[in-house]
Amino acid sequence: MPSFETDVAIVGAGPTGLFAVFELGLLDLKAHLVDILDRPGGQCTELYPEKPIYDIPGLPVVTGQQLVDRLMEQIKPFGATFHCGEMASGLKRQPDGRWKLSTDAGTEIVAHVVVIAAGGGSFMPKRPPIHGIEAYEGKSVHYAVRKMEMFRDRRVLIAGGGDSALDWTLNLAPIAKTLTLVHHRDGFRANQHSVGRMRELAAAGTIQFHVASVKALHGAGGQLTGVTLLGHDKREWRIETDALLPFFGLTMKLGPIAHFGINLHENLIPVDTARFETETPGIFGIGDIITYPGKLKLILSGFHEAALMAQAAFHVCRPNEKLRFQYTTSSSSLQKKLGVAS
Amino acid sequence: MKIIAKDREGKPTAIEGRAGWTIMELLRDAGLPITAECGGACACATCHIYVEDGWFEKLPPRSAAETDMLDMALAVQPNSRLSCQLTCSEELDGITVTLAPE
């Protein structure tokens, strides 16, 4: 089980979490970041990498991806450690007063300070609004394919029209007993080559394609036996299947943070606006996930919050040291840390 | 100018329209439980609504981007739209929409 010790553990590698690395780094505090996505950037890169943002001070226009690229460049001197593709799953206070943050991949990070910069929460697969679907999840309803062999000689039904739905249709078709793709229209946002290949398989009868949506599930004890499909003409029909794979992209859910023992107000974390500390000493919060009077969910607010948090976090991490406030324009020691000293 | 928005239980709320605002922004401003997590960038499909018969036809047609993004919405119907792509105007006075399930 990989185990690390650091000054600050940050949950969330979106713009706010990334800029926190910078503000902490200026104060010589080292950081580890945990993010459920497979790369840094959070919503900026997951939801709107190509969309222009117009309200970043000093950057009249910048896309989500460009902003993240620039932040990554800006924090490079501080050598933060990233744990991407991992979900922060547990938080426990250690006997020595530090915190142990654990992830679903088994990583453990022991730190003086934990910063929750989790934005809207963890990106998780969208769950179709089908009655009783929870009872099948993990057994015969899967939102990701971890082992293709699971589906060998099984009757598989895939729902969705994006790249994941098409890719898994093509990958599983050769090994599944039957494969059915269900999509609400006869058109796809997926890679056109994949769509063409799928249509060939459907024309050859290797797979079935239905323009419909999944209306109901049938089965018992978590094991599916079939689904009822609903067409746009309100016609309903049943398909026998052993497994359902819904691929409708990701949405944000608060996730395990709700069970960290931090006080929550309507799924947001209240903090004080001098330190950006939660009601639990040593646990700080910044960005879209926090609330305080006048809070605005803006990236620029997250940057401000990160700066103030870093000042307060310094005193937790280095209780016997004095913090000297310095400017990057004039401080040779800060410039040295940034690797720009002349 | 009014918009009638029904929540997922079918309870209607009359919302004052504002020209130039999107229907998503009006729904969110009125406190209706619409996620709209990308903030109106047509990038998440979490502002999905159903438009009542008679009104659907009066709307400008879906863009290719909206049609594609609706593939990521759940329980899509022929009268599905993404409310962040619908701009409020006098012609839409009285439009009735229902929040899609999440």
Condensed to tens digits (0 to 9), the pLDDT of residues A253-265 reads 888 999 999 999 9
Size of interface A-B (CB pairs under 8 A): 59
Cβ atoms of A27 and A19 within 8 Å: the answer is no
CB A188 to CB B71 under 8 A?
A: yes
In angstroms, the separation between the Cα of residue B71 and the nearest Cα of chain A is: 6
- Contact status of A215 with chain B (Cβ, < 8 Å): no
Question: What distance in Å separates the CA atoms of residue A34 and residue A90, rounded to the nearest whole number?
Answer: 12
- In a structure prediction context, what are the per-residue pLDDT tens digits for chain B, which is 102 residues long? 899 999 999 999 999 999 999 999 999 999 999 999 888 888 889 999 999 989 999 999 999 999 989 998 988 989 999 999 999 999 999 999 999 998
- Cβ contact (<8 Å) for A129 and B45? no
Q: Out of B37, B74, B77, name the one closest to residue A120 (CB).
A: B37
Task: Convert the pLDDT of each residue in A122-160 to its tens digit.
Answer: 988 999 989 999 999 999 999 999 889 999 999 999 999
Instruction: Give domain limits for chain A.
Output: 3-123+251-337, 127-248
Would you say residue A284 has pLDDT above 80?
Answer: yes
How far off is chain B from A211, nearest CA to CA, in Å? 11
Query: Which of A51, A127, A251 lies nearest to residue B37, judging by beta carbons?
Result: A251
DSSP labels for A280-320?
Answer: STTEEE-GGGEE-TT----HHHHHHHHHHHHHHHHHHH-TT
Per-residue pLDDT, A266: 86
Query: CA-to-CA distance for A342 and A205, rounded, in angstroms?
Result: 70
> Is the CB of residue A128 less than 8 Å away from at least one CB of chain B?
yes
Residue A329 has pLDDT above 80, yes or no: yes
How many angstroms separate the CA atoms of A171 and A227, rounded?
A: 22
Neighboring chain A residues of B77 at a CB cutoff of 8 Å? 232
Chain-chain contact of A249 with B72 (C-beta, under 8 angstroms)? yes
- Residue where the block lists tokens 């700080």: A284
- Hey, are the CB atoms on A162 and B72 less than 8 Å from each other? yes
How many angstroms away from the CA of B17 is the closest CA of chain A?
Answer: 23
* A48 to chain B, closest Cα gap in Å: 6
Q: A42: which 2 tokens? A: 């959070």
Q: What is the pLDDT of residues A97-119, one digit of tens each?
A: 999 999 999 999 999 999 999 99
Residue A288 has pLDDT above 80, yes or no: yes
Nearest-CA distance from B32 to chain A in Å? 15
Nearest beta carbon to residue B37 from set A127, A213, A252: A252
**pLDDT of A225:** 97
Instruction: Write down the architecture of domain A127-248 according to CATH.
Output: 3-Layer(bba) Sandwich (3.50)
Is domain A3-123+251-337 given the CATH code 3.50.50.60 in the classification? yes
- According to DSSP, the residues that pair with B93 across neighbouring strands are none
Identical fold between A3-123+251-337 and A127-248 = yes
pLDDT digits (tens, 9 = 90+) for A174-229: 999 999 999 999 999 889 999 999 999 999 999 999 999 999 999 999 999 999 99
Q: Report the alpha-carbon distance of residue A245 to residue B11 in Å, rounded.
A: 33
Q: What is the pTM of this model?
A: 0.83
Interface of chain B toward chain A, CB-CB under 8 angstroms? 35, 37-38, 41, 43-46, 67-78, 101-102
Q: Give chain B's domains with CATH numbers.
A: 2-99 (3.10.20.30)
With an 8 Å Cβ cutoff, are B76 and A189 in contact?
Answer: no
Which residue stretches of chain A are H helix? 15-26, 43-46, 64-75, 163-172, 192-203, 299-317, 332-337
DSSP string, B45-85: --SEEEEPTTTGGGSPPPPHHHHHHHTTSSS--TTEEEGGG
